[in-house]
Amino acid sequence: MKMNKWKSLLSSRKFWAAVIGLVVMVLKMWRPDLPIDADEVAGLVTVLAVYILGTAIEDGLSAATRL
């Protein structure tokens, strides 16, 4: 049962989008001289958040139609 949850998590598009956003934010905080502007980081995080929400809505609607 636990292995199934890990496999599900690691194959999740939402999880990997969140990891990418976290890595970019940590890199920007750790290396302030990174050639990415703070506005670009905010834009990327916004796009990833919208992607995660859209994927969640898609997953929820597809589960609702299966009922």
For the chain, the domain total comes to 1
Confidence of residue 1 (pLDDT cuts 50, 70, 90): low
- pLDDT tens per residue, range 28-63: 999 989 899 989 999 999 999 999 999 999 988 888
Report the distance separating Cα 51 and Cα 54, nearest Å. Answer: 5
**3-state SS string over the chain?**
CHHHHHHHHHCCHHHHHHHHHHHHHHHHHHCCCCCCCHHHHHHHHHHHHHHHHHHHHHHHHHHHHCC
Q: Is it the case that residue 9 has pLDDT exceeding 80? A: yes
In this prediction, residues 4-17 reach a mean pLDDT of 91
Domain boundaries, position 29: 2-65
